A and B are shown apart, each in its own frame.
Chain A
């Protein structure tokens, strides 16, 4: 019978990630902005705000575990949001066409970056950087550079106003007496799916093997190319889900949405303790990272900390969290 020990708990990456989250929560309890931190609504909003980033972080974890990186996710949010806006608002498609349509766009773009990096052997950084630029361009092209909103332009230049589609209303809804956002539920489903894939499926094992040593995996018969393409495709798929949620919350498809989100997603993954070198980490850790950054952001926001201070504090805390993670390995 193994007894619980704080020492061994803190030696594990999960323990350290949990500690970082506890510290941030403690900071929130101290700087509670006249009690705002103790309201249920604050936590519901924190989780809602972190959800879009969190979905990106799920896909990012799969890619990073395989030793890659996906810089395209922020742009894919915009592309999926614009597609969602076009399909749901302008073309009035029902939800069962909009959702697969958006997901297919994300999946395809992700698969293309995966194919370029896995088959054509372009470094993941470059392959996904290209996709980041390309997807942003597609988003602007599809939207004509304007937000796809409920003000629809007629051919003669005047505007007519349509209702916000029911799909958007449903995603930006709350359940459990208004205490949980649907977006958060979608995020948790993404976490569950990514966890199943990474920890309970053979494909997940392949990704760890590839991230650990790609050449050795290839020689031991791991289908490296296919597994890698699937990782990027999954990342694109999660990005499309995030884009759909983004569009629903903004009630429009903004071609400028999601810029810089990829960096936040990477920071969430790394704070959790997943190694950027690949081969180590997991979705559970990423969940801690998502909550840590999400709460940090919220605490700075309810205290109305000026922008300059927020950036400095966030930077310091990310480095501190990553340093604790690294010390656990040596």
Chain B
């Protein structure tokens, strides 16, 4: 299977090289750690859409199915297929640091997306800052509530770094206000769990001003719980703002706001083009977030610093 895949890759790169006689074309290998999450599906879609604007780019996508060693093998396959550039969204830092470094040392530029690797043997890291996004959400909430109110926080998996960062960032954002987090629970990023926890919050507290969930499905689950309980007037805020999830929920009036956790797919292709042109690229690009609420959702949200 792997040999076949490898042969296919070689064939594709040869074919691409053959076509490239008239105009120079570039093959980009993209190693995605897991396509089981909609956000990562969106990342691939963003890369595909950005690359489609540039006919000289050819992107080969690989899904490591949440398996570190599989992803390592994919990186090695890309290196032996001599791709012109490697984009990797690694599953874990430690085990993928060395394969990425070897690709980099073999002269292949490497763009690391979302999750970092250790050391500095890569060309460019592109990622967002969950703490910053959490803080932006906290500040927006503080403003929305006039610095005072009762808030339910539905947390993502608290053993995961994004969950922890979205929590601490949020607490920083509301620090110094009279906002009271009356109920917090770990809903593990899952909508059914979020609905369950929200139902508990609803049966305990007769008055809730706002629900802050660490992702949009969580906020949606909480909304469904409140709606079923006939409780109106609660504000729902989520994070991620995928076009078919959070942004759609804001458009439909389900969520009041969502903050985008950008995939960096478009930026990765932009950076790749710069690298191909021989331009210098920064070692680290931190992506800003984007706020979507009722007032701006139709126009594509508002960028936050």
Contact = CB atoms under 8 A, between A and B. Distances in A.
Interface of A: 33-34, 36, 39, 41-42, 45, 49, 140, 144-147, 149-151, 153, 157, 159, 161, 172, 174, 178, 246, 249-251, 254, 256-257, 297-298, 301-302, 304, 306-307
B228 A174 contact: yes
Contact of A159 (B185, B228, B230, B244): B244
Given A145-B36, A249-B195, A250-B191, A307 B186 contact: yes
A257 B297 CA distance: 28
Contacts of A34: 204
Contacts of B252: 150, 161
B195 A298 contact: no
B203 A146 contact: no
Contact of A304 (B38, B184, B244): B184
Contacts of B221: 250
Q: Select the residue from A144, A157, A256, A297 with max chain B CB neighbours within 10 A.
A: A256
A147 B200 contact: no
Interface string B45-75: 0000100000000000000000000000000
20 contacts: A34-B204, A42-B200, A42-B203, A145-B41, A146-B41, A147-B217, A147-B244, A149-B245, A149-B248, A151-B243, A157-B49, A172-B224, A249-B192, A251-B220, A257-B192, A297-B196, A301-B197, A301-B199, A304-B185, A307-B158
B228 A36 contact: no
Contacts of A140: 36
B30 to A, nearest CB: 15
B287 interface: no
B35 A302 contact: no
Interface of B: 35-36, 38, 41, 49, 158, 183-186, 188, 191-192, 195-197, 199-200, 202-204, 217, 220-221, 224, 228-230, 243-245, 248, 251-252
Given A159-B244, A301-B185, 7 more contacts: A41-B229, A49-B196, A149-B245, A151-B248, A153-B244, A159-B248, A178-B230
Chain A CB within 10 Å, residue with most, of B185, B186, B188: B185
A34 B182 CA distance: 13
B256 to A, nearest CB: 17
A174 to B, nearest CB: 7
A148 B130 CA distance: 26
A302 B151 CA distance: 16
Contacts of B38: 145-147
A45 B35 contact: no
Contacts of B158: 307
Given A151-B248, A159-B244, A41 B41 contact: no
Contacts of A153: 244
Contact of A306 (B183, B186, B229, B230): B186
A172 B228 contact: yes
A45 B199 contact: yes
Contacts of B248: 149-151, 159, 161
A45 B201 CA distance: 12
Contact of B203 (A144, A250, A302): A302
Contacts of A301: 185, 196-197, 199-200
Contacts of A150: 248, 252
Contacts of A45: 196, 199-200, 203
A146 to B, nearest CB: 5
Contacts of A39: 203
Q: Which 9 A-B pairs rank lowest in CB-CB distance, beginning with the nearest?
A: A151-B248, A151-B244, A301-B200, A45-B199, A302-B200, A36-B204, A307-B186, A36-B203, A42-B203
Nearest to B221: A250
Contacts of B191: 250, 254
A157 B45 CA distance: 10
Nearest to B40: A145
A150 B220 CA distance: 12
B245 A151 contact: yes
A304 B202 contact: no
Contacts of B36: 140, 145, 256
B265 to A, nearest CB: 14
B220 to A, nearest CB: 8
A251 B244 contact: no
A302 B204 contact: yes
